[in-house]
Amino acid sequence: MTPMLNERVPETEDGLQGAYIATVYDEMQRHIRDSGWLSEKIELLLACEVRAGSALEIGPGPGYFGLEWLRAVMVAAPGARLTALDISPDMLEMARSNAAAYGLSERSEYVLGDCLRMPFPDNHFDVLFTHSSLHEWVDPVAVLRETHRVLKPGGRFCIIDLRRDLSKEAIAFMRGNINVNMRKGFANSVKAAYTSAELRRLLEATPLAGAKVEDIELGLFLTGVKAAPVQSFN
């Protein structure tokens, strides 16, 4: 018999704030990068043709995911650029420092703002992606609608996050590989995460309905393309 899944418990309305949290989170994300686990997620982006142009990353935290993506695509796509939007000034400061360490400051921009009301014009970005931020969105339907708004027609998007129905073995593995000071936060993130079925229902209220949603080994994955407007020949 499948065990009963607990109801979702929202985590935060303010993101990860404070210099101490940013420092600890940076250490955790650097460990994840150095262990090769980020590269698996980058491969998901590349497989969905998120590999060129002007990119928006939502919730970059200390910036490693977007910077690894940019480094992976810049040889084949020398015009690729990254804009990252975060609600935390301390995370953005950390991300800018990491971009400098990568030698990618001139190709990246870090913007303070709320993904509920993105400070960008319509039809602006070629691609959009985010890793481990979906479960923190206060109003995911609003963010998904904003995703559609800021993407150019034909623009591709990829959202990768935890899911609440992870196995006990997967949760234990992930807890064992993060900073002890972040383990309570990780548990709260799992409780706040969505299942693939819940995410599909959220999508039904957005212009992105019908996008591909699937379970992956340690989370869930949403990807799709913003449809081009239908041309009228009348």
- pLDDT per residue as tens, the chain (234 positions): 345 788 888 876 555 567 888 898 899 899 889 988 899 999 999 999 999 999 999 999 999 999 999 999 999 999 999 999 999 999 999 999 999 999 999 999 999 999 999 999 999 999 999 999 999 999 999 999 999 999 999 999 999 999 999 888 888 877 777 767 777 878 888 899 999 999 999 999 999 999 999 999 889 999 999 988 766 555
Q: In what order do the strands lie in the sheet with 125-131?
A: 108-112, 81-86, 54-58, 125-131, 151-161, 219-225, 212-216
Q: How far is CA 129 from CA 132, 137, 169, 191, in A?
A: 10, 14, 28, 22
Q: Which residues of 187-199 are buried (b: 16+ CB within 10 A; e: fewer)?
A: eebbbbbbbbebb
| Residue 74: predicted pLDDT | 93
What's the start-to-end Cα distance of the chain, in Å? 58
Domains of the chain: 19-225 (3.40.50.150)
| Residue 14: predicted pLDDT | 58
Global pTM exceeds 0.75: yes
| Residue 1: predicted pLDDT | 37
